[in-house]
A and B are shown apart, each in its own frame.
Chain A
Amino acid sequence: MKGAWVVLKRELGAFFVSPLAYVVLTSWLIWNGVVFWVLTEFYSRNAVSSGASTPLSGFFGGSALFFIPLLVFVPVLTMRLVAGEKQSGTIETLLTAPVSEASVIFGKYGASLVMWCVLWIPTIIYAWIISQHGSVDWGATAASYFGIFCLGAYFMAIGLLMSVVAPTQIIAAVLSFVALGVLFTVGIGEFVLDGTAREVCAYLSMWGHMQSFSKGVVDTRYLVFDFSVAVLAVGLSVGALKARKIG
């Protein structure tokens, strides 16, 4: 697994010397800054009778404004992981080094999780801003970040899988966008359907997932789902990378 660590370091190095990293980070913070401002403005103008809803719980998955950028930013972050190596030809030097396909995938996946955390860490300042003017439920905030990490674990795994199967970065980005978009839309079925279908949609819902965590409720059903999808997608990525040899 030492190979995975070497791959992870190179992946992060390549990301943070590329202009893409700074374009992504800046756009991400501008978007979320605006979202946070709008939500804070909304909550300060409207006396919200429900004590459970706060600007922070609204920010962490309480509105579609949380999910829309993720459908775009996750594919942009993950598209280059393996498809970029295919396009530049460096996949050949990488896979002929004495490292296993699993090490390569674990390294790339680990790097994508670090990128995910780097996106979110600056948003802690929003909680600090609220704490200067009102009260913050730090337990719910911690649960929100934990929920975001778990959500990222499966988003990034799906993006990675698409990057392994796609021949180019653009195709990888489109495939990830569609996969995450479908998962997001299926989750909305929770509010539309009835009976078993409603329960299935609720289980898959990233909306329900974040609403639960943002209120400080760590629901293990969502954790099992996140973990299962992440393991499946990472496992399929290893398999797809091995299958490339015989393709």
Chain B
Amino acid sequence: MRLTGTKVIEVEALSRRYGSRLAVNEISFRVEPGEIVGFLGPNGAGKTTTLRMLTGYLAPTSGTIRIDGIDAVKNSIRARERLGYMPEGVPLYREMRVYEYLRHRGALKAVPNIAEAMDRSLDLAGVADARTRIVGQLSKGYRQRVGLAEALIADPPILILDEPTSGLDPNQVRHFREVVRSFSGKKTVLLSSHILSEVEAVCDRVIIIREGQKVADLAPGDTETSLEDIFAELTTAGSPEGAS
């Protein structure tokens, strides 16, 4: 699937309220085609809520989202066709075998040649050797890879990954980084994380949020200060408004 929009993800004044609590407050950002963008913030900053709105799992309280030029609130299904999403914790049907799960998800996403798509995504996610194993019996690292293979099954132009490396060992993290880096220029990736080294190693650009507001949008190489210092400064002191 090819990208058609000039900006692949466009978010304008996006807000989300849970009762009286404002979890996401007027966030705006754009992601260019082929870019790998990190979505950084301390726990509870609103990362997952924002990604869930982008993927159509939650409706925004206000604001607009355009995925590859499609209004993701009004045309949620069409927008979702262009996304591969790996939610936090990688929920999977544990009773299925890996290939059964991918075949099911491929059918749900109306993938034309599922067998071929399955081979490609299993290879890309580095999980081809586990294709006949039962998902519930896999290690966390393997389950994470199955989640990535699932996100890739329909060959979507956009990948949204929520905390993709949480709970992985260093070798698995390295493998994951290599896979994501290989998408550079080919797929647009938005990944959330609170692991700074990971974002620094993988992402072209970083968006930092705190208490539901965007406080920075920068490229790791742009500044001489380390990302760790910037992150600490932006997310621990002062008011979010004054920090961007």
Contacts and interface: CB of A to CB of B under 8 A. Distances in A.
12 contacts: A7-B108, A10-B104, A88-B93, A88-B94, A89-B89, A90-B92, A93-B91, A93-B105, A97-B80, A97-B109, A99-B108, A100-B77
Interface string B163-197: 00000000000000000000000000000000000
B95 A99 contact: no
Main secondary structure of the interface of A (DSSP, over half): helix
A232 to B, nearest CB: 24
4 pairs of A and B residues whose beta carbons are closest in the complex: A89-B91, A245-B59, A98-B80, A96-B55
A6 B56 contact: no
A47 interface: no
Contacts of A33: none
Given A92-B57, A96-B83, A97-B109, A14 B89 contact: no
Contact of B59 (A7, A94, A246): A246
A100 B76 CA distance: 9
Which of A2, A18, A97, A245: most chain B CB closer than 10 A?
A: A97
Interface of A: 2-3, 6-7, 9-10, 13-14, 17-18, 88-100, 245-246
Given A91-B91, A93-B85, A245-B57, 5 more contacts: A13-B100, A88-B91, A95-B56, A98-B80, A100-B77
Contacts of A246: 58-59
Given A96-B85, A245-B58, A246-B59, A13 B109 contact: no
Nearest to A94: B108
A10 B93 contact: yes
A92 B77 contact: no
B77 A14 contact: no
B95 A98 contact: no
Given A7-B108, A10-B104, A96 B91 contact: no
Given A245-B57, A246-B59, A97 B105 contact: yes
Given A2-B110, A92-B91, A93-B91, A98 B81 contact: yes
